[in-house]
Chain A
Amino acid sequence: MTAPLLSARGLKIAFGGVKAADGIDLDIAPGEFVAIIGPNGAGKTTFINMTTGYLRPHSGHIHFDGAEITGRPPRSIVRRGIARSFQIPQLFTEHTVIENVALKVAAHGRFWRPFRPLLDAGTAAAAMRLLEQFGLAGVATARATELNEGTRKLTDIAMAMALRPRLLLMDEPTSGVASAEKFGIMDTLVAALRAERVTAVFVEHDMEVVERYADRVAVWSQGKILASGPPAAVLSDPAVLREVIGVETGHAHA
């Protein structure tokens, strides 16, 4: 096996006595598309927050591409090539969709040029290319506040992709999206990740989505990785079913 792109060892963090992570070991190989599942409040989002520098683990280490990133500030981690999207999309509400994406394109490249327009030819083209890839070209000039939830989610992910990450962490890419739309969103997303060769991890509650798209599933329960492997195997494991799915299927279809 090749060296992992992301490697977490012995991560521990607790919030007021609740152990969100209690010795997490997790490796992500280049090119993988990994789903993290688990009960609500289990600490899945905490993993994203620790990996992107928003929370510092109380102990343990995170390596990205061989270099230690534990406790580094979010900005420096973004610069190293880890981007994230959010359960609640973080769009610039004052701007249009293309400006949102262009800001991130510029942030990755030529941000500090004070007298060059945001939407200059190069940046606009790069932003438009991403919008097309995510099927968002039609809403390019819509204001971020006018979009439906599915479109907001895709915009948020397109913005993360504009940072040209090598690893993308997504927090529930299909939550809050009408169930008729969710496979469409995931198809678009997976195609874009493949095309750009981006390794990705996503936290997900919807087992249909996990089963259909993930290369591998990691089950997060009570601060530990309970199981990890191909979806078919993991999702039929009785311990996983009892611990996670029993609670989760009800939630996912609620």
Chain B
Amino acid sequence: MTLLLFLAILDGLAYAAQVFMVAVGLTLIFGVLRILNVAHGSFFAIGGYVAATLGTWAAATAAAPVLALPVLLLAAVMVGGVLGPAIERLVLARIYTKEHVLQLLVTFALFMILEDVQKLVWGVQPIFQDGPVRALGQVEVGDIIYTAYQLYLLPGVALATLFGLMWFLRRTLTGRVIVAVTEDREAATAMGIDANRVYLLTFTVGTVLAALGGALASPTTSLVPGVGVNMIVLSFAVVATAGLGQIEGAMLTALLIGLGRSVAVYFAPEFEVVIPYIIMVAVLLIRPHGLFGRPELRRV
């Protein structure tokens, strides 16, 4: 029982780290662009698929163990660097001034397209790689033998992302500009800030993060059709529970939901998928704008 719970906690931490990578980009993009990108989960899935493909290729080379980890980052940068700017410039840039409902429909249409891109390129059979996990080996935690990859690397990357983003947004000039646009788009534009560049940059960063989340997940889960949709609803649950646009809050709720889910996996597997939403609905019933969200001021 205790052993199972301990295992559940370790799994939960690793899982929370993956979810956070997707959720943080979703919430960052929403904070700046005011668009909730329904296709965000697809970036996770495609990042995973590309990482698995590159990883399988790398594993066949002589330098296999050395390449295993860099390949994950490479996959994320490739996916985010191509899809992010392309989608932002070609599609989103056309709809910033349109009604909310149309913005949602457009990203939903992108989602439909990207889900099938995965099927066309990678088929419907599960895809899996284990190079990165083997590269880091295993560690003993008490009585449990656990992979160093899940114990150290995943939470480490998530924390580095969180602190890196906070440092970037607070301490760098570009970060301050992004925050300025978030807080008052019109005033920032009036000051000579090029909002379009801020949107492009933010969307690309968010895309890279989601793809990195997928790349990091590729050695621990099998990639199958439907990974993207599960991830978008789950990461939405995380950002909604935290409050849309709340970056630090997303880390906390990712932990809450990640742990809740993995405890369910061990103790009530039928409800694995339900737990995150029970947490979300419970929080939203008490705090309609999320744990850390603020209601937008009502203008009379």
Contacts and interface: CB of A to CB of B under 8 A. Distances in A.
Contacts of A86: 300
A174 to B, nearest CB: 19
A177 B298 CA distance: 26
Nearest to A52: B300
Interface in B253-300: 298, 300
Contacts of B298: 54
A49 interface: yes
Contacts of B300: 49, 54, 86
Contacts, number: 4
A54 B299 CA distance: 10
A86 B299 CA distance: 12
A54 B300 CA distance: 8
Interface string A17-58: 000000000000000000000000000000001000010000
A54 B298 CA distance: 9
Chain B contact patch, size range = under 10
A73 B234 CA distance: 35
B104 to A, nearest CB: 20
Contacts of A54: 298, 300
Interface string A46-81: 000100001000000000000000000000000000
A86 B300 CA distance: 9
B300 to A, nearest CB: 5
Contacts of A49: 300
Interface string A108-134: 000000000000000000000000000
B215 to A, nearest CB: 46
A147 to B, nearest CB: 21
Nearest to A45: B300
A45 to B, nearest CB: 8
A46 to B, nearest CB: 10
Nearest to A49: B300
A49 B298 CA distance: 12
Interface in B36-72: none
Interface string B83-104: 0000000000000000000000
A193 B298 CA distance: 30
A178 to B, nearest CB: 25
Interface string A73-104: 00000000000001000000000000000000
B116 to A, nearest CB: 37
Nearest to A48: B300
Interface string B238-265: 0000000000000000000000000000
B32 to A, nearest CB: 26
Nearest to A84: B300
Nearest to A171: B300
A49 B300 CA distance: 8
A200 to B, nearest CB: 19
A83 to B, nearest CB: 14
A8 to B, nearest CB: 19
A177 to B, nearest CB: 20
A234 B182 CA distance: 48
A91 to B, nearest CB: 15
A49 B299 CA distance: 11
Nearest to A86: B300
A225 B298 CA distance: 27
B191 to A, nearest CB: 23
Q: Nearest 4 CB-CB pairs, A to B?
A: A54-B300, A49-B300, A54-B298, A86-B300
4 contacts: A49-B300, A54-B298, A54-B300, A86-B300
Interface of A: 49, 54, 86
